[in-house]
Amino acid sequence: MTYGIIEPISRLSGQNNNFMITVEHLTKRYGSTLAVNDLNFSVDAGEILGFLGPNGAGKTTTMRMLTGYMPPSEGTAKIAGFDVLEDSLAVRQRIGYLPETPPLYREMTVQGYLHFVASIKGVSAGDRPRRVDWAIERCGLTERRHQLIRKLSKGFRQRVGIAQAIVHDPPVIILDEPTVGLDPKQIIEVRNLIKSLAGDHTIILSTHILPEVSMTCNRVVIIQKGRVVATDTIDQLLNRSDNRTQYELKLSGNLQALQAALAQFPDLAGVQTQSDGDNHLVTVTTNGDTDIGPELTALVVQAGLRLYEMNRRRATLEDVFLQLTTSEDTAEDEVFASETAADS
Ligand SMILES: Nc1ncnc2c1ncn2[C@@H]1O[C@H](COP(=O)(O)OP(=O)(O)OP(=O)(O)O)[C@@H](O)[C@H]1O
Ligand SMILES: [Mg+2]
């Protein structure tokens, strides 16, 4: 068995004293839909964890359970040692949460709303002005502080959503797709804000955008159909892709003979085909970095196809993500030994 990541001994042995967040066998069913299926992972204090997965993977459902907004069907989640179900009040005090749709009061000003949130989060009246100023400043809202929320653009409303998540200075911050709807400049600013909050805060952010995690996070949990399919550092994920090579072949003719030949070819990670009538784009992915270009060309000629173009490229982080999240039944045993090691 190979491990994709070297985990601290404590993580492997299940001692979770240093973890700010621990999730064990977390499961959520909506009727017959298994939205979250036996999730296990943990987050160290001060870490930024990326929670990555395609639409419908179960990111929001997991976050809603972590923040105490929805009970799990099975399993447990603990924030700073407090159980989200049994100690939900203690959990809510320690968490800042940016939901998918932040519950903003449209008729309040930015500053008025943040004062209101600070009061319901238990910030003392004496501390409130300082905390609100801090959140306004950190989220780049200074020039908008007296504006009504309903008059703000979507990007600025998203900033107010982040400001309300941090105004009470919680040790744990959970952000559901924090950069959705922001323009490129705002995206960079919000990523920098998130990075600047790490260290003092433990952060989980969900996204389905890969550059987001590689620019912001230390580690990533990738989920697909409610299950963890990988737990790794960004570097380790990139290492996974390092040896993989892709060949894109533009061809015309009947593909059958080529497909039969490729099925016999050793050490291929996958073959994908897009066809438009007799024209095809065939993508062949290998597990290694040995150049199989000449062999592929020979197979194409033997199969009686016309080859117009062949490109070779190293697989990227995006390819790894797609491979992990698009397979029908993920081969957990084989590809995701690191996850098993990390979470058992
Ligand atoms: N209230 C609900 N009732 C029934 N099914 C739900 C409910 N909320 C979510 N689901 C289902 O649970 C699964 C996970 O949904 P979830 O919203 O957690 O995914 P997600 O990873 O956040 O997706 P997205 O990237 O689109 O936000 C989906 O199949 C979804 O249809
Ligand atoms: Mg979601």
- The pLDDT tens digits of the residues spanning 146-203 come to 999 999 988 889 899 999 999 999 999 999 999 887 888 888 888 888 888 888 899 9
Residues of the chain with CATH 3.40.50.300: 9-239
Answer whether 225 contacts ligand 1 (Cβ < 6 A). Answer: no
Helix (H, G, I), strand (E, B) or coil at 206: strand
Distance from the alpha carbon of residue 308 to the mean position of ligand 1, in angstroms: 43
User: Beta 245-252 vs 306-314: how paired, if at all?
Assistant: antiparallel
What pTM value is reported for the model? 0.75
Count, residues in the chain? 344
The stretch 259-266 carries a mean pLDDT of: 90
* pLDDT over 70 at 82, yes or no: yes
* pLDDT over 60 at 5, yes or no: no
* pLDDT over 50 at 341, yes or no: no
What distance in Å separates the CA atoms of residue 132 and residue 135, rounded to the nearest whole number? 5
Distance from the alpha carbon of residue 276 to the mean position of ligand 1, in angstroms: 34
* pLDDT over 70 at 258, yes or no: yes
Residues 6+ apart with CB under 8 A from 83: 76, 77, 91
- Would you say domain 9-239 falls under CATH 3.40.50.300? yes
The 10 Å Cβ neighbour count of residue 129 is: 13
* pLDDT over 60 at 14, yes or no: no
What distance in Å separates the CA atoms of residue 314 and residue 126, rounded to the nearest whole number? 57
What is the residue with the minimal CA distance to atom 26 of ligand 1? 55
Element (H, E) at 188: helix 184-197
The stretch 303-331 carries a mean pLDDT of: 76
The stretch 223-250 carries a mean pLDDT of: 83
Answer whether 72 contacts ligand 1 (Cβ < 6 A). Answer: no
Higher-pLDDT residue of 187, 141: 141
CA distances from 273 to 33, 88, 208, 258, 277 (A): 32, 50, 24, 11, 12
32-48 pLDDT, tens digit per residue, is 999 999 999 999 999 99
Level-2 CATH architecture, domain 245-314: 2-Layer Sandwich (3.30)
Distance from the alpha carbon of residue 58 to the mean position of ligand 2, in angstroms: 7
Of the chain, the percentage scoring pLDDT greater than 90 comes to 57
The 10 Å Cβ neighbour count of residue 157 is: 18
Answer whether 60 contacts ligand 1 (Cβ < 6 A). Answer: yes
Which is the closest atom of ligand 1 to the Cα of 28?
Answer: 12
Say what the pLDDT of residue 7 is.
Answer: 38
Residue-averaged pLDDT of the chain: 85
The stretch 282-288 carries a mean pLDDT of: 86
Say what the pLDDT of residue 325 is.
Answer: 76
* pLDDT over 60 at 269, yes or no: yes
Residues 6+ apart with CB under 8 A from 235: none
> What six digits make up the tokens of 232?
């790794």
Which DSSP string corresponds to 226-280? Answer: TEEEEEEEHHHHHHHHHT-EEEEEEEES--HHHHHHHHHSTTEEEEEEEEETTEE
* pLDDT over 80 at 55, yes or no: yes
The stretch 237-256 carries a mean pLDDT of: 83
Least confident of 7-11, 50-54, 171-175, 202-206: 7-11
Choose among 141, 202, 128: nearest CA to 167: 128
Least confident of 52-61, 133-142, 222-231, 321-330: 321-330
Say what the pLDDT of residue 17 is.
Answer: 56
Residues of the chain with CATH 3.30.70.260: 245-314
User: Beta 48-52 vs 219-224: how paired, if at all?
Assistant: parallel
Least confident of 258-262, 319-323, 335-339: 335-339
Answer whether 58 contacts ligand 1 (Cβ < 6 A). Answer: yes
What distance in Å separates the CA atoms of residue 137 and residue 118, rounded to the nearest whole number? 15
Distance from the alpha carbon of residue 61 to the mean position of ligand 2, in angstroms: 7
Q: Are 221 and 231 in contact (CB under 8 A)?
A: yes
